[in-house]
Every structure is written in C-alpha cells, then in structure tokens.
A = this chain, B = another copy of it.
Amino acid sequence: MNAPIDVNDLIFISVDDHVVEPPNVFDGRLPKKYVDRAPKVAHTDNGNDVWVFDGHTIPNIGLNAVAGRPKDEYGIEPTAFDEMRAGCYDVHERVKDMSAGGVLACLCFPSFPSFSGRLFANTDDKDLALAITQAYNDWHIDEWCGTHPGRFIPMALPVLWDPELCAAEIRRVAQKGCHALTFTENPAELGLPSFHQPHWDPVWKALVDTSTVLNVHLGSSGKLAVTAPDAPMDVMITLQPMNICMAAADLVWSRVFKEFPALKVALSEGGTGWIPYFLDRLDRTYDMHHLWTGQDFGDQLPSDVFREHILTCFIADPIGLALRNDIGIDNICWEQDYPHSDSSWPRAPEELVAMAARYDVPRADLDKITHENAMRWYQFDPFAHRPREDCTVGALRASVEGHDTAIQSMEHGRHAARAAISLGQLAEQATA
C-alpha cells in the first residue's frame, strides 16, 4: 500500500476543456471588408443565443454548457448565454472556476466552429475563411489564453481546406507559443483525403518542425456513434469516446507515423481503459496478417508505434488507472471537460484521487497523469508564470475562497419542459 494522497497537494492540468465563444471573438480582428461577414451572435425569438455565419445557424447545444447545473436539467436543446455559468465564455470567470475546481491549467477546444473548424472550411470564399480562422486563433491565443498567462495551453484551429495554408498557420501560431492543433479524427468523413494520402504531408511536416501536437477530439469527424435514429441518447453518450479507436487504428496502420516519426497525436476525450485491449489487438493483427497485408514496422510492434506517437486522455476511467502500465504511464493525461456534461467540476480532483486509491496508484504515477505528461507533450511550463507551491489544488482553491460553485438551476427554467429530441435530429445538427 502506498501512502494516502492528499488531494490538496496535487497539481492538475486538463488537456480537454471547452470554450463557449463570447460574442466579441472577431471584434477588431478582421480586415474591414470582412467585418460584415464575420460570424455573429443573434438572439432568437424563443430566447436562444445562436451563432450565424454564411447562411448557417449554430445553436449552443445545452449538454455542452451544463457546468454547475442540476443533472435533471441537462439537455440538448439550444441555450442562451444567460443560462450558462459565466465561466463558459468569460475568461476571468473561467479562471476562477478553474481555481475553485483545483485546476491549474487547461487546453480549450472550440465550440461553434466545430472541433476541426469545419464551419469555416465549408465557406466558398476561402480568403474570408482564412481571415476568420486566423482571427479566431489570434483571439484564442492572445485573449482567451493570453489574459491569464500560465493558465491555458493554447490550441489553434486548422486550415482544413488547404494543407499548405494549414502548415503556414501552424508555423505562424507556433511563433506565438502555440503548440497544439485541433483537427478531425477522420478527414475522409468530411469529404477530404484520408490519412492515407500524401495530401496532408505539409501539415505533418509543419507539426513536426514546430513540435506541435495534433489533437483529435471525439466527434471531430462530424459523425456520431449512432446505432439507429430511434436509439436512446444514452447509446450515443456511451459509445462516443470508444469510437475514437477508429482514428487510432487508422493512424497506426497509415504511412503517417512511418514518414513523420516525430509526430504526436492526442486522442482527446477518448478514454484509456480500452487501450490495452486495443494494443493486444494491434499486435495480434500484425502477427497474423502482416505477411499478406504488407505492413512492416521493422523491429517494432504496432503497440510500440502507438506508444511512441499517441497520447491517451480520460475524464473518469477507473480501469484505465488500474491498467496504467499496460497503456503506458507516460501516455496518459487527465481531462476536466468543463463545461460539458461529462465533467465532474468542481470536485474532479477528489473523484480522481478516490479512483486512484482503489487501485493504489503511487503519487509518482498520479503526478505524471495529472500534470507532468501534459507539460512534456505540450511543452507547457506553467511554473514559469506562477510559483509551483501556488499551483496545487489547495493553493488554487484558497486563492478564490468564497467563489460560488453551488449547483444552480437554470434561470429561465426552460429546460424543465424539455422536448424529446431524437438521436437522428442530433446527428443532423452535428453534421450540418
């Protein structure tokens, strides 16, 4: 038995949270000719706030902004800014919520542009799309992450429609200290060339040259794990993380890691408990089939390739902690998922420590999982901005004593009379 761990002494960096973009993202960041065509927030007649861009209306899905709300008010209808915690969209409030939740720093995925920025990519005017993508990245890096140095790992949107422009954007943001790119788990699902085509080589090269991590978040292919249009919502929620095994297999067997041996990929919100099975399966597939499929990893096994290149990430995954050494203790990062419905904010550190106690995880392993791996994979050093002793759960919470984290019911109570929405409708929204 290892010594009991005091949650107050730990340091938490989350590699998967979400920003709900505030209305001012593009203010002052676009050339004059594009100001009128920038994405804008509109308030609908039935009380929702939506983003409007290029003929598309993108609601804020309720499940994506439920931090601090009672569970019986979770739902997937559109919602409004005044039905969310301010920490969803206001960075000062976000930092207070992070501190109250014991979390030092986090990596924030985008909301309305989609995880891979495909909303912008779908615009016919590609000059406009590039200007908007760059404006978004500048807002994210300079304002959202820059306002509170050391509290955010910056991450850029890709230029999805042009690998050369994407490479240039990766190099541009790297100059500003951004070493993470959000991307799609499967470009083929978006009608783009698959991971198996040299098409993407300029992107891989720029990522490697700038030591930038590619982040493929669950759902970033625009395809939900839906079994049938009339299946209960619980089916999709259960399956969504595991679905990312498709991206992992696609990449391990592709030419990408063979051609770009320094490339690093994070399976964001993909969970970890299934990885040891998956690694066994990779190796058995190689053993049984490589003589006729022609795969050749030299003196490596595909599981070695996986561990060299892929970071696994979890929110709450007890068996993954038990299997940490079968996964690779240097390949696991923790996620908070604020303000989505899978998050345990503000008690996530306590949840993790309780799970770790079940499997007697030693402090050294827990430190890797809670922050050391994230710092190394993302080249992120929060201690350059804040003394280490001020970065612990205990110190952060003390710094925001009195900050209100109590569960609060939605102001308008519109969620109480929730209309049933089918998985079919949700899938349609997701791919719209």
Q: Which residues of B contact A284 (CB under 8 A)?
A: 316, 342
Q: Which residues of B contact A246 (CB under 8 A)?
A: 225, 227, 235, 239
Kindly supply a per-residue 1/0 record for chain A positions 382-408, scoring 1 wherever the CB is within 8 Å of any chain B CB and 0 otherwise.
000000000000000000000000000
22 interchain pairs, CB-CB under 8 A: A70-B291, A71-B292, A75-B292, A188-B229, A194-B229, A194-B231, A196-B232, A227-B247, A227-B249, A231-B250, A231-B253, A232-B253, A233-B289, A234-B249, A235-B246, A239-B246, A241-B281, A277-B277, A277-B320, A288-B342, A292-B418, A319-B326
Q: Which residues of B contact A418 (CB under 8 A)?
A: 292
- Of the listed residues A186, A273, A418, the one surrounded by the most CB atoms of chain B closer than 10 A to its CB is A273
**A228-B196, A281-B271, A319-B276 are known contacts. Are A71 and B239 too (CB-CB below 8 A)?**
no
In the A-B complex, the 8 residue pairs with the closest CB atoms = A273-B277, A194-B228, A188-B228, A72-B291, A276-B319, A227-B250, A274-B274, A234-B253
Q: Which residues of B contact A254 (CB under 8 A)?
A: 231-232
Chain B nearest CB, measured from A151 CB (Å): 26
Q: Which residues of B contact A233 (CB under 8 A)?
A: 289, 293
Closest to A245 in B: B242
Q: Which residues of B contact A73 (CB under 8 A)?
A: 292
CB contacts under 8 Å to B, within A48-102, are: 70-75
Interchain CA distance A289-B418 in the complex, whole Å:
14
Apart from A188-B228, A232-B254, A237-B289, list 18 A-B contacts with CB within 8 A: A74-B288, A74-B292, A186-B227, A186-B228, A196-B232, A231-B250, A234-B286, A234-B289, A234-B293, A234-B295, A237-B285, A239-B245, A271-B281, A272-B277, A273-B274, A273-B277, A280-B318, A284-B316
Interface residues of A (CB under 8 A from B): 70-75, 186, 188, 194-197, 225, 227-235, 237-239, 241-242, 245-247, 249-250, 253-254, 271-274, 276-278, 280-282, 284-286, 288-293, 295, 316-320, 323, 326, 341-342, 418
Q: Are A71 and B288 in contact (CB under 8 A)?
A: yes
Which of B227, B271, B278, B291 is within 8 Å of A242, CB to CB?
B278
Interchain CA distance A250-B232 in the complex, whole Å:
8
Q: Are A230 and B277 in contact (CB under 8 A)?
A: no
Chain B nearest CB, measured from A379 CB (Å): 29
Q: Which residues of B contact A196 (CB under 8 A)?
A: 228, 230-232
Which of B228, B281, B342 is within 8 Å of A250, CB to CB?
B228
Interchain CA distance A326-B241 in the complex, whole Å:
20
Copies in the complex: 2
Closest to A70 in B: B291
Main SS of chain A's interface residues? helix
Interchain CA distance A141-B318 in the complex, whole Å:
44
**A227-B188, A227-B194, A228-B250 are known contacts. Are A242 and B274 too (CB-CB below 8 A)?**
yes
Q: Which residues of B contact A320 (CB under 8 A)?
A: 277
Q: Which residues of B contact A286 (CB under 8 A)?
A: 234
Q: Which residues of B contact A323 (CB under 8 A)?
A: 319
**A234-B253, A250-B235 are known contacts. Are A280 and B227 too (CB-CB below 8 A)?**
no
Interchain CA distance A278-B317 in the complex, whole Å:
10
Which of B74, B235, B241, B249 is within 8 Å of A238, CB to CB?
B249
Chain B nearest CB, measured from A117 CB (Å): 20
Interchain CA distance A317-B280 in the complex, whole Å:
7
Q: Which residues of B contact A225 (CB under 8 A)?
A: 246
Q: Which residues of B contact A74 (CB under 8 A)?
A: 288-289, 291-292
Q: Which residues of B contact A71 (CB under 8 A)?
A: 288-289, 291-292
**A246-B227, A253-B235 are known contacts. Are A274 and B271 too (CB-CB below 8 A)?**
no
